[in-house]
Amino acid sequence: MKEELAPHVSDITRALGGKVSEQEIEKELASYLNVYRVSLDTAKRSIVKKHGGNPAGLAVGINRTLRELVPGEQSVNLLVRLVSVNEKDVTPEGQGTKRILYGILSDPTATVPFTAWEPLNLPLARGDVVRVQNAYTKEYRGQVQVNFGTRTAVMREKPDALPEYKPAPGTGLPYLGKPTPVRIVDLREGASNVAVTARILSTDSREVEVDGAKKTVFSGVLADETGKTQFSAWKDFGLKEGEVVRIEGAYVKAWRGIPQLSFDDRATVTRLPGDAAPAAETLGGSPRMWVEDLAERGGGVDVTVRGILIDLREGSGLVYRCPECRRVLRKGACRIHGEVKGEPDLRVKGVLDDGSGALTAVFNRELTEILLEKTMDACIAEAKEAMSTDVVRDELSDILVAQPIEARGNVTSDDYGLMMIVDQAKLLRVDVQSEARQMLEELEGGAP
Ligand SMILES: [Zn+2]
């Protein structure tokens, strides 16, 4: 195992310009692969990103097995056999008719449908073995689909370059092998074939449109003693609030910037006795997490972060929003709707640093009013008198900047970093003051 990983350890070290030692990378890579159970590709990219590098600098390619793929991957390399190839004409909205290829790919681990949206650099026929570079994946009717786009290159290989796909005896399931038990706190985007034992805290369903057809996604929140996660089931498993289940063969995918547990008809759901997971009341807590770990996970549901609010970002304080689209106005104008009569709102966008990293914490009007101990109307009156909204921002800055704060909420992750939509917040300063007061009282009490 160690020898197999050596070229990838050097690859990561090189992509990071040697600023992190090979030993450290080796340790991190082992933990991503063995503890978080993400694919080698995801692990490499995550480590490079975590240390501030660019994953595009990675040079040693990895062929993925079809079984490992999850929806939403941007660049995958595959060695596959074409089980079937068909042509059809489609008319994408706003474009002329074009001919696409579709069919089924296989490798020794699974079969997966594919679509080639652009003309390929070589003709494909049933039975061909090909190396595919820069394909991407999507969710199609609740299953992974491989797509070939403009950046995708296809090279023909000898037919004996790849053994034939043989389904596991007795099952048609694309996942082979035993699923890996993972605690909710350890779920990482890109993990596949995981097993989670958890209590269902809530259920919901939503309609999505897949290829013009309506499909129901069964969603909700699951929890174990380490944390909570949202889930999406692409098949109706009849999940009910309060029951304890073991879900095997699930994968982890980000939805609206937060990693969540997804599962489809490849998964099995087993009902467990009610005492197989802690009671719902004790699962209501919000685990305290480090920003560094949230960055590694790609966000989290209902987590608590403690840190120092080191700065207010632009757009904090009294703002005016477009009545049409709710965007914050700049100089009285909306980026989309031009000059409009803005509606007032109050918010804080603060940079919260806990020593391991920083995130943007967004406090809504209600929380900002509590922090200011002042209503929005009072702020509007103040701004009118001062003829500038800066006065509100300055006041917030005086109260918040350099203060220790505990914030609880959902954390999303995108290209701009982590953002917490704060549900609850408290200034820890209050505790420090009361501690100081208490100490003073004790000192005074002890004085003659
Ligand atoms: Zn607007």
Distance 341 CA to ligand 1 centre (A): 10
pLDDT digits (tens, 9 = 90+) for 113-137: 899 988 888 888 888 999 898 899 9
Distance 345 CA to ligand 1 centre (A): 15
Q: What mean pLDDT do residues 251-269 have?
A: 84
Distance 416 CA to ligand 1 centre (A): 22
Q: What mean pLDDT do residues 91-97 have?
A: 77
Please report, to the nearest 10 degrees, the dihedral formed by the alpha carbons of residues 351, 354, 355, 360 taken in order.
-30
Position 253 scores a pLDDT of: 81
User: Mean pLDDT of all residues in the chain?
Assistant: 84
pLDDT digits (tens, 9 = 90+) for 142-162: 678 899 998 888 988 888 777
**How far is it, in rounded angstroms, from Cα 146 to Cα 256?**
21
Q: What mean pLDDT do residues 274-280 have?
A: 82
With beta carbons less than 8 A apart as the criterion, state whether 253 and 142 touch: no
Region 65-172: CATH code: 2.40.50.140
pLDDT digits (tens, 9 = 90+) for 229-247: 999 998 899 999 999 999 9
Distance 327 CA to ligand 1 centre (A): 6
What are the backbone dihedrals phi and psi of residue 114, each rounded to the nearest 5 degrees, phi first? -135, 160
Tokens of 394: 């300055």
Answer whether CATH 2.40.50.140 is correct for domain 291-432.
yes
Residue 431: pLDDT band with limits 50, 70, 90: low
pLDDT digits (tens, 9 = 90+) for 338-386: 999 999 999 999 999 988 888 999 999 999 999 889 999 999 999 999 9
Q: What mean pLDDT do residues 247-263 have?
A: 85
Q: Is the pTM of this model over 0.75?
A: no
Q: What mean pLDDT do residues 65-90 have?
A: 84
Residue 434: pLDDT band with limits 50, 70, 90: low
Distance 316 CA to ligand 1 centre (A): 19
Distance 395 CA to ligand 1 centre (A): 28
* CATH architecture under which domain 180-283 falls: Beta Barrel (2.40)
Position 436 scores a pLDDT of: 55
Distance 239 CA to ligand 1 centre (A): 40
Position 170 scores a pLDDT of: 34
Distance 334 CA to ligand 1 centre (A): 5
Nearest to 78 by CA among 118, 114, 103: 114
Position 369 scores a pLDDT of: 94
Residues, CB within 5 angstroms of ligand 1 (ion):
322, 324-325, 327, 334, 336-337
**How far is it, in rounded angstroms, from Cα 305 to Cα 407?**
5
pLDDT digits (tens, 9 = 90+) for 13-62: 988 988 899 999 999 998 888 877 777 777 888 888 888 887 767 766 66
Would the pLDDT of 255 be above 90? no
pLDDT digits (tens, 9 = 90+) for 325-334: 999 998 889 9
Position 119 scores a pLDDT of: 84
**H or E, element range at 399:** helix 390-400
